[in-house]
Amino acid sequence: MKFAIKLLMISIFVSIMVGCGAPHMMVIKDASVAITPQPGKALVVFLRPARMLGDGNVAVLYDGDQYLGTSTVKTIIPYQAEPGKHLFMVIGESADFMEAELAAGKTYYAVVQIRPGVFGGRFSFHPQNGQLEKDKIDAWLKVMKPMEPAPAGLAYAEKIAANSKAKKDKYLPEFEQKGADKTMLNKDSGV
């Protein structure tokens, strides 16, 4: 019983500490510009719809080793990417990955989905087919705020760089062994 109470207290503490990620991001004032690909770029829009369980947890997003932002509930992190191949990473209690093949001028969508962890949330990417899931995506875009890193977010990314690298080193081999079952954002799923 004492162990269960200690575990609960640790879980609450970690959730509170991890949930302090909101100041790391700031709202993008011109949302229409934020969700339009720039010339010669591909736009990847990371969506975090509201869920009941684990909404206080934050997910840290990367393109390779480049910090993209700290994702919280009901936020969008738009990323203007170079066309071509990318490896996206999401960090929570663990790390998960998504390969992408991006084309210039297209917009791609990926949901950042929470799943249960031991002490906090674990996250996964769920690529969306922009053509097939347009109604669902449009509904999300109406209620979510586009965000970009604030100076505090960039400082936070530097502070957790060693931890993020350790998680990448630990979990990337598992992802690479998935072969054809890897999470993938396909070139054709962009709109």
Give residue limits of the domains in the chain. 2-189
Cβ neighbours, 10 Å, residue 169: 10
**What is residue 181's predicted lDDT score, i.e. its pLDDT?**
86
Write the DSSP string, 105-146.
T-EEEEEEEEEE-SSSEEEEEEEE-TTTTHHHHHHHHHH-EE
Looking at residue 13, its pLDDT comes to 37
Contact 183, 98 (CB under 8 A): yes
Which pLDDT score, from 0 to 100, does residue 39 have? 95
Q: Which residues of the chain have pLDDT under 50?
A: 3-22
pLDDT of the residue at 80: 96
User: Quick one: pLDDT at residue 190?
Assistant: 87
